[in-house]
Homo-oligomer: A and B are copies of this chain.
Amino acid sequence: MPSHAPSSVPADELGTLCLTMAKRAKAASTVLAQAPTTAKNRWLLASARALESRKDELLAANAKDIAAAPSFGLNAAAIDRLTLNPSRIASAAEGLRQVATLPDPVGEVREERQRPNGLQVKKVGVPLGVVFFIYESRPNVTVDAAALCIKSGNAVILRGGKEAIHSNTALHRLLSDELKRCELPSEAAQLVPTPDRQAVSHLLSMSEYIDLAIPRGGKSLIQRVASAAKMPVLKHFDGVCHVYVDAAADLEVAERIVVNAKCSRPATCNAAECLLVHAALADTFLPRIGNALLAKGVELRGCAETRKRVPAARLATEDDYRTEYLDLVLSVKVVANLDEAVSQIGTFGSHHTDAIITRDTRAAEEFTRRVDSSAVMVNASTRFNDGFELGLGAEIGISTDRFHARGPCGLRELTTYKYVVTGNGQVRE
């Protein structure tokens, strides 16, 4: 079965199309909110099997996107992200099976207490409603996002990158077919059928039907979504993450963590972008870490004190210290003490992930108390700020906002709660 080409929708019909999608999503969400865990898990497992059995159809759709990729000006790395292959399809299927094993946050009793008058008070998890998920080129994200939204009882409207539309259309059709087969509302997962950017603006205005927008991608995408959305947005703009090597650091631990935080996957939001070194260690640690990083091909941009110890570093500008390089580049600064480190992180960081390396528990305690980031690490790599690594099972994204959820957001963060209060005739004075 061939993929449908992305339909171009006349401007005057686009608003109606989006409104229809949003209303259908809301209607589907009220049915899905009541769906038993077993039905949602059955859908996850059936979709995993379908990904494998319908592999050829998915690869054929993906081939169309790959063929069209040069016309979008995609470079080799972007084409790689866009590519589906049997191993990536298997990994998407594995992701679905993992989500099936996670506890259902809907109906979960989160707190329970008995009041002196005998009232039994429970706080019970319920879905948010409808999620609008806006992302870029990796087609696997279509599957991951739909899995997390639906397992948490939310309907989802998916809006992938225009360059992935054939792949996403094929993946969405598969997920939707399995929803029907599992007797769940097929409109619980919808894909915006047109690459028109105006569709995103329309949907972001529909706060009556859509409860949450989640943008995942570059900073400019996230800024566009955040400024246009009339509903709450779960997001982080960027990850200007720091590693502070304290005077009491174990230098071997410090070297291992700095190299890992910078080099293991430099394009991720939890990679380190700035190294802060206590002045007492400037002579010993800086030459050592400088060599280790240069050997890994990292470009260093440092303060004057850094450059005395690592001459290969070029002079950092103030802008460098605010920059999320997403590449093998690292800012370096020598700080007088923990106080200056905390202040540098507060001024130049993005409240995403910051780490201290120290054997001094008092310093660790002060750093974790004063640094106000979604995750604060002690003697561990910044790269652990991730839903799976922190024990949430999986994540739909990382939030640096203060409202609702902070840090990695998994199934529970896609829900809210209600109070269920049971009495035997109590009235209030």
CA distance A368 to B383 in the complex (A): 41
A378 touches B423 (CB 8 A): yes
Give residues of chain A (107-152) contacting chain B, Cβ–Cβ below 8 Å. 107, 113, 115, 119, 121, 124, 126, 128-129
Q: What residues of B have a CB within 8 angstroms of the CB of A383 in the complex?
A: 427-428
Q: How far is the CB of A31 from chain B (nearest CB, A)?
A: 11
What mask results when residues 364 to 401 of chain A are scored 1 for a CB within 8 Å of chain B, else 0? Answer: 10001110111111111101111001110000000000
B380 touches A420 (CB 8 A): no
Given contacts A407-B419, A416-B403, whether A427 and B390 have CB atoms under 8 Å apart is no
A428 touches B389 (CB 8 A): yes
A420 touches B378 (CB 8 A): yes
- Chain A contact residues: over half helix, strand or loop, or mixed? mixed
Tell me the number of copies of this protein.
2
Q: How far is the CB of A102 from chain B (nearest CB, A)?
A: 14
Q: How far is the CB of A240 from chain B (nearest CB, A)?
A: 16
A427 touches B376 (CB 8 A): no
Q: Cβ of A250 < 8 Å from any Cβ of B?
A: yes
Q: Cβ of A313 < 8 Å from any Cβ of B?
A: no
CA distance A406 to B260 in the complex (A): 40
A419 touches B403 (CB 8 A): no
Q: Looking at the complex, which one of B119, B250, B384, B420 makes contact with A428 (CB distance below 8 Å)?
A: B384
A419 touches B385 (CB 8 A): yes
Give residues of chain A (3-30) contacting chain B, Cβ–Cβ below 8 Å. 30
CA distance A420 to B380 in the complex (A): 11
Given contacts A126-B372, A421-B384, whether A121 and B427 have CB atoms under 8 Å apart is no
A260 touches B376 (CB 8 A): no
A380 touches B119 (CB 8 A): yes
Q: Cβ of A180 < 8 Å from any Cβ of B?
A: no
Q: How far is the CB of A394 from chain B (nearest CB, A)?
A: 15
A402 touches B33 (CB 8 A): no
Q: What residues of B have a CB within 8 angstroms of the CB of A420 in the complex?
A: 368, 375-376, 378
Given contacts A372-B33, A403-B416, whether A260 and B427 have CB atoms under 8 Å apart is yes
Given contacts A379-B422, A391-B121, A418-B373, whether A403 and B232 have CB atoms under 8 Å apart is yes
* Extra inter-chain contacts (7) besides given A259-B427, A378-B423, CB under 8 Å: A113-B391, A256-B427, A264-B427, A376-B420, A380-B427, A381-B427, A390-B421
Question: 7 smallest A-B Cβ distances: which pairs?
Answer: A380-B423, A260-B427, A253-B425, A383-B428, A375-B419, A404-B404, A378-B422
